[in-house]
């Protein structure tokens, strides 16, 4: 069982936002299914827009968060898009309700930490200002989180930073969405909290808001599965094509179907090598493209990532 609570608040008293509800909705849409349309998260939206009658106050916000974590689950995911704030002394962050009252981020983390007895993995994603204070030990003047095993936190910015909007969407959420849509998928198509952070981290420059990733996990579960660049069956052939991970594979024109040699077995091998090249596991030697490596009788080899997957295939772990 995998469930997700997606919170988006636009209609703040005296300080309205524009993209939070849209962000929560698009996160719910992409998390609901894997790319192959198999069911993923059971998503619950909790939003308030400018024309809504429903008000999200502090008590109701806390109640929804508690409901997310109170029942057993394989994975529970909390997403919040709205205002975040620091207290007057800068000693802690808050998730802000519509009435500009807030739930301490430390309290939210305590609820999540306490839920670890019945939930295998918890992921918290915050697209709000000062979100880097989530779980931080402010007494030690550090952003290092105090979290239970199995909890991961992704924040849009550091404690002292604002989270920016652009084109009606949070900059951080747009990156998270693209990462879930395949941008952060590994060779098998798995997107994890760590790969999402790596994607966002590389996309944001040194002078931009800086996302933070705080995690205490022994094994990363996929948050979403996308179409792999090479099938599992093809990846399992790595140790067949390369009996040794540092061995090179000799190509020649008979591997390339456009050359008209008609060797179907070699053509099928070459198609698989091209798929493995697309997945970043194989690369030609001395040529930019696999086609020219074959035409010019060059070799190809495993990349560093390819050697990693070779090892998994060789150990029967794929």
- pLDDT tens for each residue of 218-259: 888 899 999 998 899 999 999 999 999 999 999 999 898 775
Helical H segments across 42-148, by residue range: 58-70, 105-114
10 and 102: one domain? Answer: yes
Domain that holds residue 130: 2-225
Please tell me the total count of domains within the chain.
2
Rounded Cα distance between 58 and 198, Å, is 33
Instruction: State the CB neighbour count (10 A cutoff) for residue 171.
Output: 22
Average pLDDT, the chain: 88
Burial 15-45 (b: 16+ CB within 10 A, else e): eebebbbbbbbbbbebbeebbeeeebbebeb
Give me the pLDDT at residue 239, please.
93
Best CA proximity match to 256, nearest among 302, 283, 301, 289: 289
Q: Are residues 12 and 78 in the same domain?
A: yes
Distance CA 125, CA 4 (A): 11
Q: Which of 225, 242, 267 is the last residue of a domain?
A: 225
pLDDT on residue 48: 85
Q: Is the pLDDT of residue 47 over 70?
A: yes
106 or 169, which is more confident: 106
Residue 99's pLDDT band (boundaries 50, 70, 90)? confident
Question: Mind listing the pLDDT tens digit for each residue in 107-122?
Answer: 999 999 998 788 999 9
Whether residue 202 sits in one domain with residue 165? yes
Which of 23-27, 151-155, 208-212, 264-268 is least confident?
A: 208-212
* The pLDDT value given to residue 102: 84
Quick one: 14 and 137 in the same domain? yes
pLDDT at 259: 58
121 with 246, same domain?
A: no
Q: What is the pLDDT of residues 157-193, one digit of tens each?
A: 877 777 777 777 788 999 999 999 999 999 999 999 9
Burial environment of residue 200 by CB neighbours within 10 A (0 to 12, 13 to 18, 19 or more)? buried
């Amino acid at each position: 069982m995998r469930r997700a609570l997606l919170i988006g608040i636009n209609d703040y008293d005296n300080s309205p936002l524009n993209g939070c509800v849209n962000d929560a909705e698009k996160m719910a849409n992409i998390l609901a299914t894997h790319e192959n349309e198999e069911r993923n998260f059971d998503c619950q939206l909790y939003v308030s827009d400018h024309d809504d009658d429903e008000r999200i106050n502090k008590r109701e916000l806390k109640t929804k968060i508690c409901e997310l974590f109170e029942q057993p689950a394989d994975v529970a995911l909390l997403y919040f898009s709205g205002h975040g704030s620091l207290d007057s002394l800068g000693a802690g962050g808050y998730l802000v309700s519509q009435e500009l009252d807030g739930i301490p981020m430390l309290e939210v983390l305590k609820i999540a930490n306490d839920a670890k007895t019945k939930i295998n993995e918890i992921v918290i994603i915050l697209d709000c200002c000062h979100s880097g204070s989530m779980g931080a030990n402010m007494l030690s003047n550090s952003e290092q989180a105090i979290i239970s095993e199995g909890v991961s936190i992704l924040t849009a910015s550091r404690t002292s930073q604002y989270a920016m909007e652009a084109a009606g969407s949070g900059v951080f959420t747009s990156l998270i969405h693209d990462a879930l849509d395949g941008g952060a998928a590994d060779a098998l198509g798995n997107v994890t909290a760590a790969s999402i952070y790596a994607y966002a981290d590389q996309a944001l420059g040194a002078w931009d808001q800086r996302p933070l990733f705080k995690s205490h996990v022994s094994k990363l579960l996929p948050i979403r599965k996308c179409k792999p660049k090479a099938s599992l069956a093809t990846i399992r052939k790595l140790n067949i094509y390369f009996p040794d991970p540092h061995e090179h594979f000799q190509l020649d024109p008979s591997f390339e179907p456009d050359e008209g040699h008609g060797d179907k077995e070699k053509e099928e091998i070459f198609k698989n090598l091209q798929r493995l090249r697309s997945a970043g596991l194989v690369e030609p030697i001395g040529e930019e493209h696999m086609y020219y490596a074959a035409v010019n009788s060059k070799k190809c080899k495993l990349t560093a990532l390819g050697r990693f997957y070779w090892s998994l295939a060789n150990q029967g772990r794929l």
